[in-house]
Amino acid sequence: MIQTNQLQYTYPKGSTISFPDFEISSGDKLLILGPSGCGKTTLLHLLGGLLPCTNGKITINQKDISTLKSKEMDQFRGDNIGIIFQKPHFAQALTVAENLAFAQQAGGKKTDKSRIEHLLSKLGIIKHKDRLPQKMSEGEKQRLSVAMALINKPALLLADEPTASLDDHHAFEVIHLLKEIAAEENSALVIVTHDSRLKEEFKDHILTLKSI
């Protein structure tokens, strides 16, 4: 489903970071663990096609994404990739359901109310459907960002530090939900984090990055 090969990124100021190769199949999961500043967010942005890799190759669903032009990448991402960012982004003037409908349209899909309601129920935030995101707690906003990432049934789900600032109970709850929904939808799940509490949840599906 996704494979990386000799991936490198050079920042505008000139420092280069190299990443180990890895491969994940559909429905499989990988925890990318490493200390602050080791390049986790950079790697996630490369995998999501938000940054172009300087060297090497990322293949997603048999497509080498480094060959895609910016607009083609946007289209490819809309069709194949869901991203849960460290800080959620919502349209504040739209309700929760409208945000999700907007994400469906942005992904070139028609509004599918039953998909929206299914995800909101699954994530335990259906009561917020017709409310504005700013009325939600931080934990609920995080669940909404999970729904936003999953709305178009991505083959690849990327999550950047989804448990940062959550206590043990909520951290494991979010991880269980991500694993459950990814497995249910046969999405490959990649989480980047410094949160070593998650090791026990991923056991032999862990890639450790070293400090640079």
Ligand X SMILES: Nc1ncnc2c1ncn2[C@@H]1O[C@H](COP(=O)(O)OP(=O)(O)OP(=O)(O)O)[C@@H](O)[C@H]1O
Q: Rule CB under 6 A: is residue 133 a binding residue for ligand X?
A: no
Answer for which of 4, 19, 32, 40 binds ligand X (CB under 6 A) is: 40
Q: Rule CB under 6 A: is residue 48 a binding residue for ligand X?
A: no
Answer for which of 41, 54, 61, 75 binds ligand X (CB under 6 A) is: 41
Q: Rule CB under 6 A: is residue 50 a binding residue for ligand X?
A: no
Q: Count the site residues for ligand X by CB under 6 A.
A: 12
Neighbours of 135 (CB within 10 A): 11
Neighbours of 147 (CB within 10 A): 23
Give the integer Cα–Cα distance in Å for 36 and 40.
8
Q: What is the CA 47 to chain-centroid distance, rounded?
A: 10
Specify the 3-state DSSP secondary structure of 147.
Answer: helix
Answer for which of 118, 179, 194, 205 binds ligand X (CB under 6 A) is: 194
Which value, in Å, is the radius of gyration of the alpha carbons in the chain?
17
Give the integer Cα–Cα distance in Å for 182 and 163.
16
Q: Rule CB under 6 A: is residue 211 a binding residue for ligand X?
A: no
Least Cβ distance, residue 177 to ligand X (angstroms): 22
* Site of interaction with ligand X (CB under 6 A): 11-13, 34, 36-42, 194
